């Protein structure tokens, strides 16, 4: 029963109760965590807050990835918690994953009592010092009265400007002490955003001039489009001026893959025609992307003839990797809403014979389309059954089955990191934002399974697929029991080639096929799933793929499929380290039925 403070009519609560009351006030309904001694007062108080569901993870790293997946799928901040010492340090990889991909996440850790801080007490570690480089901000709270204001500020920091993870470390005595609580009084000071751009700003005028003068523009669509909610504005901008759109890995889904202006993914394993278009462009419009090295290749030879307009909410990204001729600092949605009315239609870019007809492709668009050749068809998808099952078959058939069932826009794919991640980006055509959840910047193996749990918690009505390699899947496979305990219908596709596939591909290409430590022994994944109470199936032939995928999707229960795929297949095209964006390594001849490398 909550006690009232007679002086100010605010209830007197313990710090632990204040924590849950503040989370509830912020709209939190799900928390992922693992208890321990320094956070037990918080777990004890959970009984008084039935509106918040706690998901018990099997490893604290899983908790941080689940909160991350929840945030990516929903657009709302995810929340995870752990005890002090090893519980807190086990969150670090998940915090770094969220930091590099700009994901709003709140991590709450218990800490030893303030009286013994700095004494090397049992399970004491300086978690704020450890996480300083991998959080947007962090706090150490040592008084009960500071818990609510700190938590509310943490939510504001995590979600304002460029999103990111925030850690709040709370000493045990602060959790146990009592004080008056007012959610409203704990409201943080208003966030001061970057000054809003105006129509008469010189940078806006310069951007308009560059856009109107360009003959071969390309939009670079990044993750910031989704974070800003600017999908409609980007499409309106592109359609009005018939500008083709290339996507980063995390930008996939922001623009429907089937849209005629959508080119596909750029970068190291991007489409050849996309990279060539970027290299030939005279103007790049970077929308919410940071010119990561995986999308630029050799910087000294990147888009040498193109002017660059960089739109980003984070000023520190401007000129960090690529010089911007014009920088528009601000929320992408707001910037585009300002730009669109200022840009008159550009007749040279679209050829329209009748005002009632759709714009015809410009010469620039026709040039890009002609450069696709047979690579756009991706012949591997249509290969006759020759006894080989390729990962591309699996990804394509999962996509095709979802489309045939009318569930494409209700499907979330959560990938791990490696070859299967790139195959997914190449062969699964994303039509909706937040339909691909993957670790981009940090490239965290073991991410997929726990992140899928977070995505399913956020969107229980959607079909959630884990696509993981046999290596990364084993890193967090213990979370299979979390899926069962939470009764979640999550589908799991293990792309099993008996190798750490991307490592093996690099060893094949750059280390004279010295497969040092890349072959990996795996358990029987179907039996492993069964041990956790999850049904499964082994698939090694292509005709078995679609029926098994349908069985998994329609079972309304968790289901694991172990896909035994070709062991030494590779992801192509590929840009070697130090090469320019257009200098792509082609698929080597290995199987006579594989596409000709000249057609890639």
Of 265, 268, 475, 502, which is the active-site residue?
Answer: 502
Q: Cα separation of 287 and 324, whole Å?
A: 12
Contact between residue 66 and residue 30 where contact means Cβ atoms under 8 Å apart: no
Rg (CA), the chain: 25
Of 17, 60, 479, 600, which is the active-site residue?
Answer: 60
Largest Cα–Cα separation, the chain: 84
Of 123, 176, 212, 337, which is the active-site residue?
Answer: 123
Q: Which two tokens stand for residue 260?
A: 């005629």
Q: Cα separation of 324 and 314, whole Å?
A: 14
* Helix H or strand E segment including 559: strand 559-564
Contact between residue 199 and residue 342 where contact means Cβ atoms under 8 Å apart: yes
502 is catalytic: yes
333: three-class secondary structure by DSSP:
helix
172 is catalytic: yes
Q: Give per-residue burial for 42-71: e unless 16+ CB within 10 Å, then b.
A: bbebbeebeebebbebbbbbbbbbbbbbbb
Helices (H), 214-331: 224-228, 231-241, 272-280, 293-296
Query: Which DSSP category does 224 fall into?
Result: H
Q: Cα separation of 478 and 449, whole Å?
A: 9
Q: Cα separation of 262 and 377, whole Å?
A: 15
122 is catalytic: yes
Q: Cα separation of 239 and 346, whole Å?
A: 11
* Helix H or strand E segment including 501: helix 501-510
60 is catalytic: yes
Of 26, 139, 172, 559, which is the active-site residue?
Answer: 172
> Both ends of the chain: CA-CA distance in Å?
68
Residue in 196, 216, 250, 279 with CA at minimum distance from that of residue 415: 250
Of 3, 115, 122, 196, which is the active-site residue?
Answer: 122
Query: Residue 480 burial by CB count (10 A; 0-12/13-18/19+): exposed, middle or buried?
Result: buried
Q: Cα separation of 600 and 419, whole Å?
A: 17
HEC string of 24-60? HHCCCCEEEECCCHHHHHHHHHHHHCCCCEEEECCCH
510 is catalytic: no
Q: What angle do CA 567, 297, 164 make, to 5 degrees?
A: 90
Contact between residue 288 and residue 264 where contact means Cβ atoms under 8 Å apart: no
Q: Give per-residue burial for 494-532: e unless 16+ CB within 10 Å, then b.
A: bbbbbbbbbbbbbbbeeeeeeeeebebebeebbebbeeb
Q: What are phi and psi of 563, to 5 degrees?
A: -90, 110
Contact between residue 394 and residue 563 where contact means Cβ atoms under 8 Å apart: yes
Handedness of CA 340, 341, 343, 349 (dihedral sign): positive
117: three-class secondary structure by DSSP:
coil
256: three-class secondary structure by DSSP:
coil
Q: What angle do CA 95, 82, 421 make, to 5 degrees?
A: 35
585: three-class secondary structure by DSSP:
strand
Residue in 410, 419, 383 with CA at minimum distance from that of residue 495: 419
Residues noted as catalytic: 60, 122-123, 172, 502
């Amino acid at each position: 029963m909550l006690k009232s403070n007679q002086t100010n009519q605010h209830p007197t609560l313990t710090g632990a109760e204040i924590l849950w009351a503040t989370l509830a006030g912020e709209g939190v309904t799900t928390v992922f965590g693992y208890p321990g001694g320094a956070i037990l007062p918080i777990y004890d108080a959970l009984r008084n807050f039935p509106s918040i569901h706690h998901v018990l993870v099997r490893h604290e790293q899983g908790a941080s990835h689940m909160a991350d997946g929840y945030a990516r799928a929903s657009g709302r901040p995810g929340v995870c918690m752990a005890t002090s010492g090893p519980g807190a340090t086990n969150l670090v990889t998940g915090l770094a994953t969220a930091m590099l991909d700009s994901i709003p996440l709140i991590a709450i850790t218990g800490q030893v009592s303030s009286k013994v801080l700095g004494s090397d007490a049992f399970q004491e570690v300086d978690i704020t010092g450890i996480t300083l480089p991998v959080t947007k901000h962090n706090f150490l709270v040592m008084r009960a009265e500071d818990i609510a204001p700190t938590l509310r500020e943490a939510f504001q920091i995590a979600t304002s400007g460029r999103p990111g993870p925030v850690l709040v470390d709370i000493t045990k005595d602060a959790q146990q002490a009592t004080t008056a609580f007012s959610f409203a009084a704990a409201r943080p000071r208003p966030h001061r955003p970057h000054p809003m751009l105006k129509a008469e700003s010189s940078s806006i005028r310069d951007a308009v001039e560059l856009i109107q003068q360009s003959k071969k523009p390309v939009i670079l669509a990044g993750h910031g489009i989704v974070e800003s909610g600017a999908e409609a504005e980007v499409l309106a901008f592109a359609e009005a001026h018939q500008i083709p759109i290339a996507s980063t890995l995390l930008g996939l889904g922001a623009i429907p893959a089937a849209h005629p202006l959508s080119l596909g993914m750029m970068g190291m394993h991007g489409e050849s025609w996309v990279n060539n278009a970027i290299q030939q462009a005279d103007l790049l419009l970077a929308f919410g992307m940071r010119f990561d090295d995986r999308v630029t290749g050799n910087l000294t030879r990147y888009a040498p003839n193109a002017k660059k307009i960089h739109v980003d909410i984070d000023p520190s990204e401007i000129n960090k990797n690529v010089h911007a001729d014009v920088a528009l600092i601000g929320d992408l949605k707001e910037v585009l809403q300002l730009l669109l009315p200022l840009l008159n239609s550009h007749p040279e870019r679209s050829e329209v014979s009748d005002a009632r007809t759709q714009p015809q492709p410009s010469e620039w668009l026709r040039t890009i389309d002609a450069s696709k050749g047979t690579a756009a068809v991706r012949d591997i998808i249509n290969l006759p059954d020759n006894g080989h099952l390729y990962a591309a078959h699996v990804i394509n058939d999962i996509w095709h089955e979802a489309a045939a069932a009318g569930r494409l826009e209700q499907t979330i794919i959560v990938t791990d990191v490696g070859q299967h991640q790139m195959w997914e980006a190449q062969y699964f055509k994303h039509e909706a934002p937040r339909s691909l959840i993957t670790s981009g910047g940090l490239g965290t193996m073991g991410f997929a399974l726990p992140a899928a749990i977070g995505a399913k918690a956020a969107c229980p009505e959607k079909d959630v697929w884990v696509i993981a390699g046999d290596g990364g899947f084993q890193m967090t496979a213990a979370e299979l029991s979390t899926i069962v305990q939470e009764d979640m219908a999550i589908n799991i596709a293990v792309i099993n080639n008996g190798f750490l596939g991307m490592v093996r591909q690099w060893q094949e290409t750059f280390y004279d096929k010295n497969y040092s430590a890349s072959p990996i022994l795996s358990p029987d994944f179907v039996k492993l799933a069964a041990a956790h109470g999850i049904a499964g199936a082994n698939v090694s032939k292509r005709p078995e793929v679609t029926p098994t995928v349908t069985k998994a999707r329609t079972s309304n229960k968790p289901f694991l499929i172990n896909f035994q795929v070709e062991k030494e297949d590779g992801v192509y095209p590929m840009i070697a380290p130090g090469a320019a964006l257009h200098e792509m390594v082609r698929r080597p001849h290995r199987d006579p039925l594989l596409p000709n490398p000249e057609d890639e």
